[in-house]
Amino acid sequence: NAGVTQTPKFQVLKTGQSMTLQCAQDMNHNSMYWYRQDPGMGLRLIYYSASEGTTDKGEVPNGYNVSRLNKREFSLRLESAAPSQTSVYFCASRDRGPYGYTFGSGTRLTVV
């Protein structure tokens, strides 16, 4: 099915471990985004990539890094996980123009 695919769907990490969240879209969208959502809160932007080859920090980038591997793929890396990074992570993409986002199904991450 066309859309945004995120892997893994669930992950439990120990404090200090590292991991990479993967995101791929097959809609030929230029822009891709990583958000986190905490209970009772809206979405907060971690990093984004306006186009292939560019990445920029969002509102809450500390503790994360990203790679725009190609037009389809945008990964988020936690180098040394902390309990404060326990959250649901959503990847999103959008086409050029005044369009909204298409979201992936999310990754539920718990850091213990």
Partner 1 sequence: QKEVEQNSGPLSVPEGAIASLNCTYSDRGSQSFFWYRQYSGKSPELIMSIYSNGDKEDGRFTAQLNKASQYVSLLIRDSQPSDSATYLCAVRKDTNAGKSTFGDGTTLTVKP
What burial class does residue 67 get, using C-beta atoms within 10 Å of its C-beta: 0-12 exposed, 13-18 middle, 19+ buried? middle
Minimum distance from CB of 44 to partner 1 (Å)?
A: 8
Amino acid identity for residue 81 in this structure = A
Residue 19 lies near partner 1 (rule: CB under 8 A): no
Question: Can you tell me which of 7, 20, 45, 67 binds partner 1, judged by CB under 8 A?
Answer: 45
Q: Of 13, 55, 53, which Cα lies nearest the Cα of 21?
A: 13
Point out which span in 8-16, 45-53, 61-69, 76-84 binds partner 1 (CB under 8 A): 45-53
Chain centroid to CA 73: how far? 10
- Give residues in contact with partner 1 (CB under 8 A): 31, 33, 35, 40-45, 48, 50-51, 56, 58, 90, 94, 98-106
